[in-house]
Structure 1
Amino acid sequence: MTQPLKDILVLDFSTLLPGPMATLMLSEAGAEVVKFERPVTGEDARHTDPKIDGESIGFAVLNHGKRSVAIDLKSNDALDALRPLLEKADVLVEQFRPGVMERLGLGYEAVRTINPQIVYCSITGYGQTGPKATAAGHDLNYVGDAGVLSLSRGPDDRPTMPFGLMADIGGGTYPAVVNILLALMARQKTGQGVHLDIAMSEGAFAFAYWAHAEGVIAGQEIASADSRLTGRLARYRLYSAADGRQIAVGALEEKFWQAFCDVIGQPQDLRDDWVDPVACAAEVARRLGRQPSTHWGPLLMAADCCCSVVKTPAESAADPHFTARGVFERKLDISGREVPALPLPIAPQFRTGAGSVGRAATLGEDNARFGVDPRKTE
């Protein structure tokens, strides 16, 4: 099958995570992505640990398969050097604070004058407008402002950190990709491009849809860890086995809960976790703590009750289920070493071969290809 984004040209002015992951997804679906970096040092992510023979693994994981052009966007001739690419580009992704691209002469209105059909995607923490538009922030700040952190913050003396970058990826990367694809579809009908304003903090709201229903619409007070999905009930919690491994109990439905209780021998008078959730959870914890995870894992699997042993990332990569589905078959070349590429939610039929090996371009590797003279931009 022909890749759906074949012949789509994407100009990537983003750094770190949200934008680079979004353009990686577009690349995986066939788009040609040209990544612009400052001369000499490149983007900061190139220098982050861990590394393989001096090459950043994190950078390679997010930027393989892209072109690299080194250019000083502050130089007087930058716009002239980029004009040929701007004229034929389909998508532009940028991740600066509001106003920065305008100061560089590369704001949406300026670019639209050159190319009215371009889909121009701006990813920021708080959006292009509003009182906090120019405020600095990272994922932790965005999910905090979206009310997500307050739902399960842990004890005061040891606050719980989020396990994933919900705002960066769920509020930045995914909305960017979805809206870029929608904009490309709309362009087929109208012939016009659009400016997409992606605010990571706003995208984080969707991760706590139930909190929106309870806390915003119904106006209920939601204390930390006091919801059915954040630890209030015994049937949806993490517990420790005797070997210190955690058991994820997700038995929300009654049939799953009763099956789980049967496995661990939970007494009938302590099965109603709505009546006395504290006593019920304490007994579950006591019983699971009697045996190691190796004992519980097979029993819970056989009971098919939405309960499982929590895996490490390395264990997940070796899981027979994911292996059978080819989740880690796609390979990445980092300094000559073949390693698994990051699994992305792009359907296999839209990508190149599963075993194809990609790599991250060296800084400025494609300057000559696109006629950008690095000597003029240093």
Structure 2
Amino acid sequence: MTQAVLPAMLSGLRVLDLSRNLPGPFATRMLTDLGATIIKVEPPEGDPTRPLQALFDALNHGKECRRIDFKNAGELQRLRDWTQDVDVVIDSFRPGVMQAMGLDHARLAERNPKLVMVSITGYGQQGPWASKAGHDLNFMAMSGVLDQMRSPSGELALSNVQWGDMAGGSSMACMAVLAAVFEAQRTGRGRALDVSMVHGLYAHLLMPLATGQFMQTFTGRWPGAGEDLLNGALPCYNLYATADGRTLAVGALEHKFWREACAVLGREDWAQLHWQRGVLPHSPESNHLKDEVARLIASRPLAVWVERFDAADCCVTPVLTLAEAQRHPLFEGDTRLPWQEQAQRG
């Protein structure tokens, strides 16, 4: 797929990227897409993703790649010199490594006071886990996020989307970079920030923590697998198997959407059986309705439901495979970025 280019909003921002693998490179890839100039610094053997050429290209398109022997004092000095001409340095080393190489903020800021440094770590710079190794799966597990991905029957799902690396790491790092650069432009002083992936993930548990408390008020206990408001308790917000073994995603959380979904299902009598109309989750009435909805949707193949819901505006969609998503009109041949400039209205 051809990479899209957004108008260069970050034109002039220069970033030295010392990170490897996925979290840091994806953060700087997003900055690249927004117009920043990225200098990617790799060890002599290259970034670990280079053998996966498609992944390396996706993460590093548009970057200038250089190589440095991080164990060679002369080359480290060359790297320090490079930091004088950039606005940001991003790394993904374990705590203490940058300082050991003479690349700590206190030293580099002597020659470049506005320098912003962002370190992406697994568990933060301090604390008993600071020096521990980890990958996305570990950050998901330790943050409590993985536990929220259980099926209704309790089995854990091994996600093939690296939420710890990208949501807890890359996205948080981008926010840290932009906030610190904005401050440095106003004050003339940069700063060093740490992005802990496990803490970044924990910050995303806002909904489960809130809905869990809500559910506890009338069930008397914290919800388990498939029991929380948005992961299985509601008939109007659930996954339903179809006759051909596919899945329909019913996201009619608000009553207005549920009312229209019921019309498409041919069961207008269900319209008032909604949590916003007093039918509480886990009540006998709610559980019976969920079984009835499941029985009806299981009576037809996915294609039938897709056709019936195509013109309806009620948050009901098929669960697509990755191959189907790539061919869908939403994405097929599409080069747009997550951000897109809005067309000016006449």
**Range of TM-score over shorter length:** 0.7 to 0.9
Amino acid at match of 2:90: V
1:347 correspondence with 2:340: yes
Give deviations 1:236-255, integer Å, cap 9, x for gaps: 11112122221110011122
Amino acid at match of 2:156: P
User: How far did residue 89 of structure 1 move?
Assistant: 1.1
Q: Distance in 2 between matches of 1:284 and 1:35?
A: 52
Partner in structure 2 of residue 30 of structure 1: 35
Q: How does 1:40-79 map to 2 (within 5 A)?
A: 41-48=45-52, 56-79=53-76
In structure 2, stretches of 5+ residues that fail to align are 1-5
Partner in structure 2 of residue 375 of structure 1: none
Match of 2:171 among 170, 174, 177: 174
Q: How does 1:205-284 map to 2 (within 5 A)?
A: 205-215=202-212, 221-266=222-267, 268=269, 271=273, 274=280, 275-276=283-284, 277-284=286-293
- Distance 1:150-1:63 versus aligned 2 partners, 3 A rule: same
% identical aligned pairs: 39
User: How far did residue 214 of structure 1 move?
Assistant: 4.4
User: How far did residue 215 of structure 1 move?
Assistant: 4.7
Q: TM-score, normalised by structure 1?
A: 0.79
Of residues 266-275 and 113-122 in structure 1, the stretch that sits farther from structure 2 once superposed is 266-275
Partner in structure 2 of residue 98 of structure 1: 95
Q: Compare relative contact order (CA 8 Å, sep 6+) and give the higher one, 1 or 2.
A: 1
Of residues 299-308 and 183-192 in structure 1, the stretch that sits farther from structure 2 once superposed is 299-308
User: How far did residue 206 of structure 1 move?
Assistant: 3.4
Do the aligned partners of 1:25 and 1:346 also contact (CA within 8 Å) in 2? no
Amino acid at match of 1:236: Y
User: How far did residue 35 of structure 1 move?
Assistant: 0.8
Do the aligned partners of 2:24 and 2:170 also contact (CA within 8 Å) in 1? yes
Q: CA RMSD in A?
A: 2.5
Amino acid at match of 2:113: P
Q: Distance in 1 between matches of 2:299 and 2:190?
A: 62
Partner in structure 2 of residue 301 of structure 1: 310
Amino acid at match of 1:239: Y
- Distance 1:99-1:18 versus aligned 2 partners, 3 A rule: same
Amino acid at match of 2:123: Y
1:318 correspondence with 2:327: yes
Partner in structure 1 of residue 82 of structure 2: 85
User: How far did residue 163 of structure 1 move?
Assistant: 5.3
User: How far did residue 267 of structure 1 move?
Assistant: 8.1
Do the aligned partners of 1:19 and 1:93 also contact (CA within 8 Å) in 2? yes
Amino acid at match of 1:315: E
User: How far did residue 62 of structure 1 move?
Assistant: 0.6
In structure 1, stretches of 5+ residues that fail to align are 49-55, 330-342, 350-378
Do the aligned partners of 2:249 and 2:319 also contact (CA within 8 Å) in 1? yes
Do the aligned partners of 1:112 and 1:118 also contact (CA within 8 Å) in 2? yes
Q: Distance in 2 between matches of 1:210 and 1:157?
A: 19
User: How far did residue 320 of structure 1 move?
Assistant: 2.4
